[in-house]
Chains A and B, each alone.
Chain A
Amino acid sequence: MDDNGESQALLMKEFVSENEPYRIDGGSSSEEESCSQSDGWWGGTGSSCSSSSCAASDSGSGSELDWELAVDPRGELFYIESTPLEKPEHGSAEPTEKADTAKYLGSLHQNRHTAKGKLVRLIQRRRNSKRRFNKAIPTGIEGQPVQAPCEMSNIRTATINKVTFQDWQEGEAREVSVSVDPQDCHNLGRRATLCETLLGLVISTFADETRIMVAGFIPNGQAIKHRSIKVGDWLRSVDGHEVTFQNIDSVLTNITTPCKVQLKLQRIAGCDITEQLSLGSPSKGVQQSDLVKQLLGTTGEDELSCVLRELPVGVLYLNQEGLTEGGPENQGVVYCYPPPLQKNTLGSVRGAFLTLQHLLPDLAPSPPVSSTVLLHGQLTHVVYTAQGKELMLLAVPDNRCSLYEAVQVTADLVCCLQFNYQTLSHAFTNQDYRPALDHFFSLFFARLLSSGLWPSAQQSVFLQDISTKASHPAPAQFEDLLPAAHWVPLPHEAQVQLDEVLSELESNDFGDMSEDNTSCQRLYTVIGTCIYHKGYLLASHLARADLVDVHTFCRQQGLLHLGRSEPVRSLVLWREVFPASCNRGLAEPVVSYTPTSTSPYQPPQGRWFLLIVGKGQEMLVVLLESGGCTVRLEGPIGPDVCYVEQAQDTLVYIQKLGIPAIAAKWLASGPRPQVISPELVPVRRTSPRRTDNLLGFVRSADTSTPSKHTSLASGSALSLTSPYSKKPVEVTSILKRRNSPDRGTVYTASGFSVQGSTSEDSASQAASVVSEVSDEAAPILGRRAERERGSHRGSDTSATPSRLTDSHSEHSDDSDSDWELQRSQNHQWNQNSQFDLSDMSQSLLSDVSDILPSKLTAGDSNTLFHYVHLDFTEGILLCPPINREQVQSERLQEILHHFRRSCQVIHVVLRNAVRFKKLMGQEISKSLINKSLIAIKEHGVLFECTPNDGECTKKSGPFTYWVVGRLFFTPHPREVYVCYHDSAPQNMVEIAFRLGLSASG
């Protein structure tokens, strides 16, 4: 095959390009300019990374689209693939809803062990290749990496004889009528086959290579709507024409007008597969990690709900309308967990709470929030959430969850459910959501009972654990319950890079990804993105309400914990959501979250989708909107391949940029607002060893990378950027929460262009090819720098006027040019990604090392144990990362317990003050707030930490420490909580000042 040979050559070239970036630079820019233009950086990244992974590990490209099989009929997707730790095989699982798909997948995984497992990859590979062909042919560009087909055919010849999917002829045959519209087929991207676009079927063959097997469904396709079509079926005929894998395309191309086609399918391998699977899977051992299994709900929940039934936990959703005297016992109960109602904690006494719900408005101006009851001798809190005529009751034991925590937890839960299902009523009434909710609540309660942590142990151990742990008091919680995301402000340069990458994704300009897309209306608008590293928020472009929603969602789904505890190979989540900023998609403003009445902008009546992709310990969240200018979507919508891949590529790009490394280092060292452990307290001077370590480590890392270019570049970058890193910060803006991404860009920009020039230098040094790309790169960088400077409102004077005007004129000429250049620049990055990106991350890391550890407290030595900076207006909080894996000292645990418990109390007092401030003069006299409690802005508590009997002999004696909370009203209410050793009096205003300073980069 001619094609094959050529693509093989190309593959070689690609492979070479990995190692020798300069040559491909020249090549691509001179010969294949059109390619790089049309490709964009997306294509570049996609191809180069997949080719590299193909070359490196066979399974790379196959796993990329595995998630497509996991999409359920409602279009939802929750797919996690753990990093294989002990075993080289990677497994995957599937959400609970669609059992048959799961079984099929399971069987595939089973097959994998027996070397038949290439099948699924084969399917994927075929699809990939198809797509690539589709793409390559119309553009006619030879440069497109088409390495896949040859590889695939090799695989096929090697393995196809072994693929013996159990096929018996005696399956039942069915006729299914599918409506088909070739004009208005769903846009599946560039590589879709006819069968995929028209019928919505992913097909493959049986062992004989002719008979067509249904391998999967396209999420929003026609076929998925017919439940009688199952994966593994044999597609026998289309409109009476017998079809084979060879002739299917020609049969389908005959369909030119919208019509209904009759598909004849035959069940081949009915229940046998499933039985084998259920028998086989336990013996196969663990492929996914325990946590992932738990999240996906593949482990036994029945046992869990049995255990939960014995404990004072439960949730009920009651409808108060249409109840009759002699109705059945369970009338009015819409939802109940743990089932059944008769054994539920709340089941028999729900009447009492309903009565109270009705009764208390007679006594007090507001409905009840919570009740405290004694249940089997255990103090239990029951929290009410009323939704019109419906009522949700949640019971939690006091020893696991104090009243304050219970109310917070419930608010969190309600927020999450509303985000997922629009309203509580929708969530609980719809029978389809039932299994998902059961799973959700089982996890929720399990977490609650095992002291707020996600279980990672074996199921049986874990169940025992719950019962024992449930009888012990839990440590107090504060930060993890608040509706705010834990933000880790990165060094400024990294933050700017990150913001830029996210902005690029948000610009949503990837029409070039597939040619069929260019003429179409876009599917979604990106209304916000945010990125997490190990469960810590690194950057967010989401509105406050959305950020809170997303964060709550991630927290309740365990994604934050997953990120914190283990790296994943791949995570894809897709579902329709109802963000609070869009009023949950409700026409009537039920929740007055947004000032819709005052704002001239009306949120469009549309639909919203949440896309989360994860890899390693990073997680990228994208909130998409369908409505307004985009295509109107009807029915269940599955994930769109383009968007998912786009997001995945962005994440990969961010990882290549070295952001995770910086974040990890940042988290590990925590040089700014430095906290100390209580063991160090009596030492009057904390030694500056930590900073030395940090510097030393970075240096050794520098020298240990022997690559000439990187060390050279990073060395120069280090020396050049270091003067800038000690930047002066304007005093006026310090108390603002967030560094607007533009502040201080003068230095960032110049530092950046310096980097660019160094890379150029080294490039010309290494190979004297004057590449057009790198030539082009310098002006881009300059222009970009100036653009940033321009946004800095001319405060910068260093830019030469000619350049400024130049860039401005280009700006006004066409806004696209920016993007084009950006893209080609990105393309360049991707082409020689090894070089450029590591260079950049090196320089960013060196930036980290330059920043001196800052200390919040006054006095000679650092006396700070912990701090929390709360900003509800932005929905973020700052606090030192607590390494959960590390065994903390008991002392710190005790201190933190006191800190959090006090913070809960102080928080209530401060919120009271805020609430009071907002009241008008007249309302004050009417309000029922205790007048003595108003206007409190600071609240401090002194505790004594006495050493245990064992350790009192050590040098550290008993000491006292303060827990102080302070409220700041301007510019918007913020709260700062600190915990410090009582050796020097501290001023909270100063502490807050320094905290704001350190957070601003």
Chain B
Amino acid sequence: MVVHLMCLTTAGGLPLFTRKRGDGEPLPFSVVASLNGVHMFGKSQSVVLRSTSTQETTVVWKVWEDSVTLIVAACGASEMLLNQLLTSVFNVMVLAVGIDELCSARNAERLKRELRVCYPLLDRLLECVDVTSSDRAANCSDLLGLVEVTLCQENHLLQSLVDTWAECVDSLYGFLLIRGRVAVATSSWWQLDPEEMKLLALLVSVEGTCTACDIPVFLPCKSPAVPFRLVACGLVGGIQICALCGPSPPLTEVEHVSIQCWKGAIDVLRAAEQCFPRNFPPSIQLDNGVMGLLLVDHQAGKFLLSRNQRTDAGKKESRSLSGAHRLDVLRTFYHQVAATFMNQSSGNSEGAAAYEQPVTSPALETYWCSEYHKCHALRHGTTLLCVLYASAVPIHTMRLITQRTLKFLTGDKQLCW
């Protein structure tokens, strides 16, 4: 299993960067050049190559703004997923250097150097596509284009704190990250494009352990040409408070304000952090058959991924799946289901997209029965809940539990879903 990502200038075919994830040799330059050449040749004959697939590998080409060509080749990923990846990759590039720099790349060498800063972020994105790698850490089950949230019982308390803090640092866009997941954020922040939210949260968690940071960012949709400042302060271990600011206030002042605002809420924060890795409060009891769940809101662009630890403790681990594998199954299920039956988003606005998916109403529910587990997905409006069950749970029970769980999670005011 290997994912290759290539970026070249459309005009000259100069390679800007190549990234690879998974085991396997990096692609020789001749192959990269040929892949680009084929696309260029086709375009000269007014045949725009979009993708090519073999039995298991898919290659996808995409040209952005007539200046950057992105090519990705991956095993076991659908074309739709790879298209999504390329969108995110381009957004990362915009985030780092701005659209102007990309479009009018006078100096490819300089651009190449500038793009180096986004490598860590790109690698994280590639993880989202990599589905079969065995050595992956448990905490990077991630979905493209959606920001991961955590539902703590303390969220309604934290909400007011975040709002106050954002006012103090003179920002509309403040958000609180617990272990890389958004707990609460200002209402303006939720108005951002899901892609932007995703990348900002990811950027902060990639920057990792530093107590405070100040990064210039371009917002790919909102302001691709004018940079903002992304400031982040570590509060307690694994918890960061972040905001998008203008030129002021400086980072030192932000740090100062943060300490002022949050020093009274340390206990609340610590309690909220306990929520991990279940990601929703222990007060909500789930059925024993539930092994994990994935709650997605396409419109808000957020998702919640959780595994039910009660079953972990209660049952012998002989037959049940390991935690990471469970999340993997859920994610695969989501990709399969979202790609085929429930993609009502149809956000891709390319010329050909109109032809895809004629007048089809998306599915309401779908399920899988495998020999080891069962999956069930229930859609309600734009919210989709995928639940992983033990294989012993009957199908009609599955439907009932899923319905009840969805009601619990989305109905609870304290959780601020």
Contacts and interface: CB of A to CB of B under 8 A. Distances in A.
Contacts of A473: 355, 358
B360 A356 contact: no
Contacts of A941: 341, 363, 365-366
Given A355-B34, A365-B56, A931-B132, A373 B42 contact: yes
Given A355-B37, A356-B38, A939 B50 contact: no
Given A356-B38, A936-B368, A363 B4 contact: yes
A598 interface: no
Interface stretch (B157-165, B171-179, B332-340): B332-340
Interface residues of B, number: 59
A770 interface: no
A927 to B, nearest CB: 9
B360 A929 contact: no
Nearest to A938: B369
Contact of B370 (A349, A930, A935): A935
A932 B59 contact: no
Interface in B1-30: 1, 4, 27-28
Interface in B343-368: 351-352, 355-356, 358, 360-361, 363-368
B42 to A, nearest CB: 5
A930 B34 contact: no
Contacts of B367: 938-940
A370 B41 contact: no
A457 interface: no
Given A355-B38, A371-B52, A897 B360 contact: yes
B75 to A, nearest CB: 5
Nearest to B369: A938
Nearest to A940: B367
Nearest to B374: A938
A693 interface: no
Nearest to A963: B363
A398 B356 contact: yes
A355 B36 CA distance: 11
Contact of B341 (A364, A367, A905): A905
A379 interface: yes
Interface string B40-59: 01100111111111111101
Contacts of B4: 363
B31 A363 contact: yes
Interface string B183-204: 0000000000000000000000
Nearest to A471: B355
B132 A373 contact: no
Contacts of A932: 131, 325, 328-329, 331-333
A930 B329 CA distance: 9
Given A372-B52, A373-B49, A375-B47, A960 B57 contact: no
B366 A370 contact: no
A931 B133 CA distance: 10
B396 interface: yes
Nearest to B326: A932
B364 A960 contact: yes
Nearest to B131: A930
Nearest to A357: B52
Range of interface residues on A (Cβ < 8 Å): 35 or more
A374 B370 contact: no
Nearest to B353: A379
Contact of A937 (B55, B131, B371): B371
Contacts of A374: 47-50, 351-352
Contacts of A367: 54
Contact of A362 (B31, B42, B360, B370): B31
Nearest to A371: B52
Contacts of A943: 361, 363-364
B73 interface: yes
A351 B328 contact: no
Nearest to A901: B360
Nearest to B358: A473
B45 A370 contact: no
Contacts of B47: 348-349, 352, 373-375
A938 B369 CA distance: 5
Contacts of B119: none
Contact of A942 (B41, B364, B396): B364
Contacts of B37: 355
B352 A366 contact: no
Nearest to A398: B355
B395 interface: yes
Contacts of A375: 46-48
Interface in A344-392: 348-349, 351-352, 355-356, 359-360, 362-379
Contacts of A359: 31, 34-35, 38
A377 B329 CA distance: 37
Contact of B51 (A372, A935, A937, A946): A372
A939 B361 contact: no
A378 B332 contact: no
A286 interface: no
A604 interface: no
A788 to B, nearest CB: 42
A366 B341 contact: no
A934 B53 CA distance: 20
B79 interface: yes
Contact of B56 (A929, A960, A985): A929
A633 B38 CA distance: 50
Contacts of A940: 365-367, 395
A1000 interface: no
Nearest to B39: A352
Interface string A703-714: 000000000000
Interface in A716-756: none
A901 B38 CA distance: 32
B323 interface: no
Given A363-B4, A364-B73, A935-B371, A377 B352 contact: yes
Nearest to B397: A985
A374 B300 CA distance: 32
A473 B358 CA distance: 7
Interface in A319-364: 348-349, 351-352, 355-356, 359-360, 362-364
A577 to B, nearest CB: 29
Contacts of A631: none
Q: Which of A366, A374, A935, A944 has the most CB of B within 10 A?
A: A374
Interface string A125-162: 00000000000000000000000000000000000000
A768 B67 CA distance: 99
Q: Which of A362, A364, A902, A943 has the most CB of B within 10 A?
A: A364
Contact of B363 (A349, A399, A942): A942
A863 to B, nearest CB: 15
Contacts of B331: 932
B7 to A, nearest CB: 17
Nearest to A374: B48
B366 A364 contact: no
B332 A363 contact: no
B356 A373 contact: no
24 contacts: A349-B41, A352-B41, A352-B42, A363-B57, A363-B59, A363-B73, A364-B54, A364-B75, A366-B54, A366-B57, A368-B52, A371-B53, A376-B46, A377-B351, A378-B352, A398-B356, A473-B355, A935-B371, A937-B370, A938-B368, A940-B366, A942-B363, A942-B365, A943-B363
Closest 10 CB pairs of A and B: A364-B57, A942-B365, A932-B332, A938-B369, A374-B48, A379-B352, A371-B52, A473-B358, A935-B371, A932-B329
Interface of B: 1, 4, 27-28, 31, 34-35, 37-38, 41-42, 45-57, 59, 73, 75-76, 79, 131-132, 325, 328-329, 331-333, 336, 340-341, 351-352, 355-356, 358, 360-361, 363-372, 395-396
Interface of A: 348-349, 351-352, 355-356, 359-360, 362-379, 398-399, 473, 897-898, 901-902, 905, 909, 928-944, 946, 960, 985
Given A356-B52, A930-B332, 5 more contacts: A348-B47, A363-B31, A364-B55, A932-B131, A944-B364
